[in-house]
Structures are given as C-alpha cells and as structure tokens.
Structure 1
C-alpha cells in the first residue's frame, strides 16, 4: 500500500505508483460506462413519497435507481468491483447531466487553476466565481502577479477572507517566475513545498491542470465516499477512505472525475444530513461574527483604504477595544501584511 501523506487542514493525498495504476486500469475497464440517455435528459419531478432510504433524491428517478443499487451492493456485498463500477457510473452520469459550469473548468491553464484552487480552499464557490474573473483581469499571468505591489494584491483579494492566501499566492508566483521560468511544475511533491500549497491542493492542481491520476481527499470527496462506502460507521478516518479513492479513480479522465466527485459532494450536503459529521476529522467551523478573523479583515481593509493609520484611528474606526486592536495590529505586522513606522501603520 502507498505511504499516505497528511496535509494539515486540507486532507490527504498520495501518488499513484505503477503497480497501483495497473490495478486501476484493470478495475476501470468498463467502469466509466454512462447511460447515454442521461446526458441530454430533462429531469422528471421527484415526489417525496418515492424517497429511498439513503438515497439523496436528485429529482431524476434514474439517478435514484443508480443510488439505490450502489447503496444496496455495498451494504450487502461490501467494496466489490461491481460497487466500484456502479459508483463510477453514478458519479459520472450525474455530472454529465447536472454538473456545474464553473469558469476554471473551461481552462487547463496552470496559472488559472492555481488561482482557483487557492481561492477555493476556504471560500464558497459562488463568491469565488466573481473574484476569480476580477483577479485574473487584474493579474492575468504569473509575471503580473509576481511583480505587483502586495497592497494591490490584497486589494484585489478583499471580500475573500483568509488574506494570507493572497500573500502566499503572490509568493508562489514569484517562485514560479524566478526559479521555474514561468512554468508551474507538474509534480505534486514539488508543488506541495510552495507557499500556501499543501499535498491535497498540489494534487488538485495536478488533476485539473495536467489531468494527472493523483489520489487525494478534500471535504466534498470525503463526504461522497463516507455516504456510500461507510453507511453506518462513525469516526471514519481518511486513511480508510484513500484506498477507495484509489480503487475507483476514473483513469480515462481524472480531471472530469474529480470535478464530478466535487459536484456530487456538494449535492449531498444540500440534500441529506452531512456525512462528514461521521468523519474522524470533523470539526464545526468557529463563529465568524465578533471573531479575531473578522476584526483582522476590518483592520486590513481600513489600512488598504486609508494608506496610513494610527493605532488610535483603527480602534475608533472598527469600534474595538484598544488592547485587542494593538494585539491584532502586531499580529498583522509579524505576518507581513502591514508595516509600522513611528506609530503609523501602512501596507507593505
């Protein structure tokens, strides 16, 4: 078995060695079949009385039947080649009929994929769609991002949250320009060493930009596998899920496969009790309102807007306790967001 690598905060990923790829080829032979009648079909109304226990109810009775067969096969027979085939058929047919049309799915440009993956790390898709276009208009390539003032990058990032991602993205752009001739390396292990890119994000970039048969887990992938393959289990570990991600990988088109898994996981979250609650790594997101993260965002936005501010001005404008403001200003300075000079703060 492959030695798995943990990516803190994002998931797990693993390379696919030759012996595993060979096993995938055997397993995937015929697994990618999709009912041709599904892709162009219009969904029929799904009535609540038709709901099958465990089935998410997609508004399409044919999809519900696929789900029922898959859940039944796994429940009665376990993880079998038939289950893998049914799983691929379900995920791909759902995607080809109902997949989201997202802008980063219309490109294989490594820079565009990198930007989208960093944005998607901790921000909802709907917000990313808007910012993605705006960001690429302002910084269309590695060179323009690498050479831009940090303050301009942070301004373009406003509204996305977790602003350190913007700084990491710019550092990565500089690294690519200065050390890789402007070409993003098509290698998971190399990418995982870049600022703000862990193993799972590196694998996602390789899948979407280079169509590489990498194996990794993130929240939507985890949700999908737990729902089907761990139906009655709690405390499911990622190292239990990863072998299944390997075994079911659609080698003919990893890019399409991971997009399909992502979309199915999104649907699951909306239509059933979140399966990720049964993950060993599940934690509830901390409250944003009134948090240090919210105050940090307000302070940084103020500094970007005004250019230079004093500690007293910040405390008055954001309506926060002076000691809290002082502490957060110190943190922002240490992290490279702002600089202090003679009692005034400005963006670096």
Structure 2
C-alpha cells in the first residue's frame, strides 16, 4: 500500500467520522429543544399500555388558540371575534396600540423564533423608553408579520399572553431637534443586543434615510412653531384673593404656580404671575401647535385682560412691554389664524396627536 492509498483511507475515514459526529450532534440538539418545549418523556407512545382519557371530547386538528386564527380588519371587529370562553385571547386581553404617526417615527421590528411573554422585554422597555426626550413606543404582536403582512399591534406594557414580534417605534423629531445618527446608533445597538440575547431577528430602516427625513421634518416644524405670549400689568394693590376670583370666574384653574385654561378637549393656554416692586405681571402663554383651538384661547385671554383693565387699570402688553391697541390685537388675530391654517395644511392641525408629538 503506497502513501497515496494511505492518505485516501485517512481522509475517507476522517470524513465518515465527521459525518457521524455531525449527525449525533444534530440529533442531540433536536432532542434537547424538544425536551425544553414539551418536557422530558422517554416513553415510546406506540408502546403505551394505559388507555387515554375517554371522557375527553374529540378534538379536531387546527391551529393554536392563543392567537387569532382570523385577524379582524380593524379594531372595531375585535368584539365580533369568536374565540371561545375557555381560551385566553391576545386580542381581547390587551389594548390596541393606537396608530403611530409614520412620518414622525422609525420602526425597529424584532421577530422571535418562539412565543415570548412581557417579562422578556420588560427590562428593555423600562431601560430604553426615550433618547434625548424622543419617545420610544413599544408594541407587541401575536403574529410575526413577515413579508409585509399586516398584523394587530398591542401595547407592549402591560401585555398578557405571548407574542412573536416586538416593535420599537422611535420618534425622529421634536422641539429638542431632529434625530441624530448618534442617537439612532445608540437605540439600534441596544435593540440588537436584546435580539441577540433572545435569538431573534431584527429589522430596521436605513440610518441615513431616517436622519435625512428627521432633518427635513425639523426644518418644517421650526417654521411652523409658535409660542404666543401676552402680558397683563396688574397693580400690586390688587388683593391676591380678588385676582384669583376674577381668573376663576373666567374659567382659569390654578395648578401649582401656574394657572391653566382648558376645556373638554384639553389645555388652551397657561399663565404665570411674576411679582415686581409695585406691580404684578400676569404672563399668558399659548402653545399654538399643542392647543386645539389657539384662536379661542387668544379670545379668552383678551377678554379676561380687558376685564382686569377696566376694573383695576391693567393694560394688555406684548413681549416687548408695549401696550396693545385694538388694531394691534386684531393684527395678532390675523397672524394667528394664518399660522393655524399653515399647521393644518402641513398635516399637523393644532392640538392633534401628530402636532403634540412633533412639538413635544
């Protein structure tokens, strides 16, 4: 036997040994996974001698009932979904996540290879809820939602049952500025680490595209953002209880050091009292994008200030300390109406969820 034959025998023998070792390892790994999922049962079911429970009803083959077999087209159809009384249903036990404004968020989607409960992602949600005051909204779904499939997303915390997908929606712009590449990378690194720890896949958008979109939105928001400030100069001789009485009669409510004007739809304006020797300055503020009716808020401020002026001699002034005439107030009205129209035309009506998100 020459050297070539010996070498071939060694190579062949080594290959066979490697195949045997690989097959053994594969068998061991699959058995281990089966044991983890279904428990350790070494009994051969074909040799089982005891009789099954004959009192149990016959069960037809089907899909697992811990998720919806037929997903409703909208949230309004959830109460029409028949899932049975004995089985918990993710769609009935959890709160739907309200639609996230796609223009203002970038989605990172983590898909698990096995169903996970809320304890899996709770540390992530608690430790990564924002970056530079830009919110991260977490949603969970009982379906993986691959290949563009639409699924129902529920609030990730609290969440009852199990999910196959977790979505982290990162806000890309607010009054702190646009999302930066550093902020994007920070969030992505933490989400990647989480996915690796749970043997999950992660899907995320292109960083350059998201950052560019964030900068564009921030520039548009800067041109639309408006904080309107008006001031009423009240003599120091006016008693505080009388001042508070007049504000309360006009619908203002004191909360801490601020006075708030609101209605059934939310806050309209705020006011802070600044004291100085011999006078008090009532500083009113309208956060135009966040007030659902800025024009009404302006009207209420002008009304209460005119009332205070008539009773106590408290003129209405602008931020520069100039007393506002009737003509000047009318000009402010027209500018405010134009700004409200611009916000609405841009898709961010004052007081809307989108506006409150962008101008947070």
TM-score (norm 2): 0.20
Greater per-residue strand proportion: 2
